């Protein structure tokens, strides 16, 4: 009798860890055996068989539980792998954005610097209109321009102490320190009174 009760108790303990529904069943079997002072062997055998069946069912459930635990572990592992890849991807993206912003800032700085240099070398030209016998100072104390004669498509000019002819569209280049200056004959104008004028442009480039 003590052995049987011990076996049922062991079955009860094992069932408790697996299924609450089976626990109630085993508790009922144990209570019935304890209440019986005269052991009925056929009933006892039936009780043992029921306990054995309960344990067998619980083993099946336990196997399913183990499989579910394995699947769960595998899923957690996959999730961890995906999360790790996402973190690495985010880190790469952040690094790319930082590098891109750095290069963009550098390019903007270089572009601004280049624009400033271009401005330094831009030709700042002015228009000079002269009649025969007139002169103008192109660069104060450096270059002067005078007109001797004006014809239909050219003029006789004086640039400082040098005299020469210039046709419409002709360009004369002179140096002013590190700067290069250009004198261009743009147009010969004829007024209503018959007097001709010569239209020049003059500009320098460089510092």
Strand order in the sheet with 135-139: 135-139, 143-150, 154-159, 162-167
Distance CA 90, CA 84 (A): 10
Statement to judge: residues 69 and 52 lie in one domain: yes
List the domain range (segments joined by +) for residue 56.
1-121
Domain end, chosen from 121, 155, 181, is at 121
pLDDT tens profile 140-198: 888 899 999 999 899 999 998 889 999 999 999 888 777 788 899 999 998 888 889 99
Segment 36-64, tens digit of pLDDT: 544 455 565 566 566 555 555 556 666 77
User: What is the three-state SS of 79-117?
Assistant: HHHHHHHHHHHHHHHHHHHHHHHHHHHHHHHHHHHHHHH
Q: How many domains does the chain have?
A: 2
State the CATH number of the domain containing residue 165: 2.60.98.40
Q: Which residue, of 121, 145, 164, is where some domain finishes?
A: 121
Residues 91 and 134 occupy one common structural domain: no
* Contact yes or no for 10/26 (Cβ under 8 A): no
SS3 48: helix
99 shares its domain with 149? no
* 157 and 177, same domain (yes or no): yes
pTM exceeds 0.85, yes or no: no
Q: 79, 99, 121 — which closes off a domain?
A: 121
Residue 90 has pLDDT above 60, yes or no: yes
Which pLDDT value is given to residue 6? Answer: 47
Q: Which residue has the higher pLDDT, 163 or 110?
A: 163
96 and 13 in a single domain? The answer is yes
Reading phi first (left if > 0) and then psi (alpha if -120 to 50, else beta), residue 126 is in beta
* Statement to judge: residues 81 and 68 lie in one domain: yes
User: Which helix (H) or strand (E) is 174 found in, with range?
Assistant: strand 171-176
Give the number of other CB atoms < 10 A from CB of residue 132: 15
Give the end-to-end CA distance of the chain in Å, rounded to a whole number: 118
């Amino acid at each position: 009798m003590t052995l049987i009760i011990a076996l049922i108790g062991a079955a009860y303990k094992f069932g408790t860890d697996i299924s609450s529904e089976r626990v109630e069943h085993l508790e009922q079997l144990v209570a019935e055996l304890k209440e019986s002072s005269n052991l009925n062997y056929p009933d006892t055998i039936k009780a043992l068989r029921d306990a054995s069946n309960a344990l067998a069912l619980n083993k099946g459930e336990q196997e399913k539980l183990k499989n579910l635990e394995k699947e769960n572990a595998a899923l957690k592992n996959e999730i961890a792998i995906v999360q790790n890849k996402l973190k690495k991807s985010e880190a790469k993206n952040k690094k790319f954005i930082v590098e891109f912003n750095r290069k963009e800032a550098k390019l903007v700085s270089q572009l601004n610097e280049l624009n400033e240099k271009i401005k330094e070398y831009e030709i700042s030209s002015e228009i000079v209109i002269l009649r025969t016998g007139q002169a103008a100072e192109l660069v104060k104390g450096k270059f002067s321009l005078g007109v001797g004669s004006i014809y239909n498509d050219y003029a006789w000019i004086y640039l400082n102490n040098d005299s020469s002819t210039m046709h419409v569209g002709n360009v004369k280049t002179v140096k002013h320190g590190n700067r290069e200056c250009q004198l261009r004959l743009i147009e010969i104008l004829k007024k209503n009174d018959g007097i001709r004028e010569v239209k020049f442009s003059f500009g320098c480039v460089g510092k």
